Structure 1
Amino acid sequence: MILHRGRLIDHIQLRARDFPATAKFYRAVLGALDCPLLADDDWHIACDELWIDALGEDESEATHVHLAFQANDQEAVKRFYQAGLAAGGRDNGGPGIRSYHPGYYAAFLFDPDGNNVEAVFQGPAPRSVASVEIDIGE
């Protein structure tokens, strides 16, 4: 079976009720996955297509979504899980093989706002490119 994965999502934005706690969690789990932060200040952080910011004054609810980060191997999934727990995440399924398809190795955490955050290694599979490059002209 061949899976085709395209570039369906341009970006994901999460709104955090307690931004310092949420930022601490994402700095830890993204660092464990070797994803460099593109922005990191008192009101937002960003890595790749993920943007996280504080709730505005007129907003009362944080976002609640499931999102999954790609991991390079099973060890990265384990690092993600341990870093997330140490940074205030709550367990939602420790590292291990899942029955979704052969080779699916994942771990799940709830972030401080209750989002279900996953790191997954889909098994060894060659990719046509490591990442999509977009030249925005600057």
Structure 2
Amino acid sequence: MEFHRGRLIDHVHLRVADVTASKRFYQAVLRSLGRDIDGEGDGYFFADELFVDQADSTPSNVHLAFQANDEATVQQFYQAGLAAGGRDNGAPGERHYHPGYYAAFLLDPDGNNIEAVYHGAMERSVPSVVITTPGPLSS
């Protein structure tokens, strides 16, 4: 049995009340998994697809970004989300994060910031991470 990972979730952004306490926690749990924090700056740190920064006031809900195959898919995500009760939090368009970063943002019914992103002409080293199990999963 095979599982393909790295195709749906692009990144997770957490806004926290205390970056120092969060960094201490995430550094410990990441190290227990053989990973570490990849970088940090004034009021933020990141590890792989996880980005954590200081909340301006009350910590926010989750920012979850889904990968899209092209700009048209980002636009379809935005329209479908609005039609299903989502609220605008940033119409489809290119963002300043890196050249070709094209995204749209919606607030879900609970206020979570949900994003679809297309990274433009960037090329992946592999389409996904493949995880193979020794047999069927038990339920």
Relative to the length of structure 2, the TM-score reads 0.53
SS in 1 for 2:75: helix
**1:1-138 maps to which residues of 2 (within 5 A)?**
64-137=61-134, 138=136
More strand, by proportion: 2
The structural deviation recorded for 1:117 is 0.3
TM (norm. structure 1) is 0.53
SS across alignment from 2:80: helix
% identical aligned pairs: 68
RMSD: 2.0
1:128 match: secondary structure: coil
In the alignment, which residue of structure 1 is the partner of 2:25? none
Say which one has the larger Rg. 2
Equivalent AA in structure 2 for residue 128 of structure 1? S
Cα distance in structure 1, aligned partners of 2:84 and 2:116: 15
Q: Which has the higher contact order (CA 8 A, sep 6+)?
A: 2
Q: Which residues of structure 1 form unaligned runs of 5+?
A: 1-6, 13-62
